[in-house]
Amino acid sequence: MKKLLLLIPLLAALVIVPGCKNDDSGTNPGDAVSLTVDDAADAFASALGGSTGTGGLTAQMEEAAAVAGGGSLGKAVQSYGILFDTTITRQRVGTYSYSYSFHYSFGIANANQFNFSYTMKGTYETPRMTSSDSAAATLQVSNILTGQAYSVTGIYNRYGTQVSKVRNWARFSSTITFSFTALEIDKTSKRISGGTATLSMSGQTDAGRIFAYTATVTFLGSQQATLIIGGKAYSVNLALGEATPA
């Protein structure tokens, strides 16, 4: 009887110990997930966002158009033969927020074209994603004196670390590249009115999972675009930098 009484606490301990080990696993959201197509769409759309969203490529296209027509950075046609160079900050607070430092330079290439480039460093936050990143772009803006729209050719690179706030809360580092030829920017609204860009993104999640995606974005005007990744389509609100499955 004494042996039986001694065995009961020992058996109870054997049952409890494994249970404690499982409770102490400490797995955090995003630790072991791959980057999904939907996550990639969010990252692409955020990099595209306008001045009321993430301050991405769309906002910088508007800035380039403002320079072509005369804006806060100066007027390109007044700088023939001179390279303008300036550093400014852009900030927005609210549901969609960002804080960036930009280094802009631009100058006339010929009577109907100017070159516009910039580098950026900062952070943004949206309901779907946060990011700490940097960017660099080189643009050639044509049709300064002709037509109803500017024509922009160039390449845009963005590097950073992002954290998704939806689905599996993926955390990842990425390199995003957009390349485009003859994008149209309406001279009146200063917004992208047409054209297509090729997109690519590669990187690694915090769990060490490698990913790579390619996509295309077609600009529809009215701050809308269609994003295609691997046959899956998304509608993009360029003002906010937000993608929704089509």
How high is the pLDDT of residue 9? 44
pLDDT-derived band of residue 109, with 50, 70 and 90 as boundaries? confident
Contact indicator for 64, 49 with CB cutoff of 8 Å: no
Q: Is residue 21 part of a domain?
A: no
Q: Is residue 2 part of a domain?
A: no
pLDDT at 97 over 90: yes
Q: What is the count of structural domains for the chain? A: 1
DSSP 152-183: EEEEEEEEEEEEESSTT--EEEEEEEEEEEEE
Q: Is residue 17 part of a domain?
A: no
Burial of 89 (0-12, 13-18, 19+ CB in 10 A): exposed
pLDDT at 26 over 90: no
Residues 31-79: pLDDT tens digits? Answer: 557 899 999 999 999 999 999 999 999 999 999 998 887 765 655 555 4
How high is the pLDDT of residue 107? 86
Domain ranges, residue 221: 35-245
Contact indicator for 215, 227 with CB cutoff of 8 Å: yes
Residues 137-192: pLDDT tens digits? Answer: 999 999 998 999 999 999 999 999 999 999 989 999 999 999 999 999 999 999 99
Q: Is residue 9 part of a domain?
A: no
Q: Is residue 232 part of a domain?
A: yes
Residues 185-242: pLDDT tens digits? Answer: 999 999 999 999 999 999 999 999 999 999 999 999 999 999 999 899 999 999 999 9
Q: Is residue 234 part of a domain?
A: yes
pLDDT-derived band of residue 11, with 50, 70 and 90 as boundaries? very low
Q: Is residue 19 part of a domain?
A: no
The mean pLDDT of the chain is: 86
Contact indicator for 120, 134 with CB cutoff of 8 Å: yes
Higher local confidence (pLDDT), 15 or 127: 127
Q: Is residue 15 part of a domain?
A: no
How high is the pLDDT of residue 39? 97
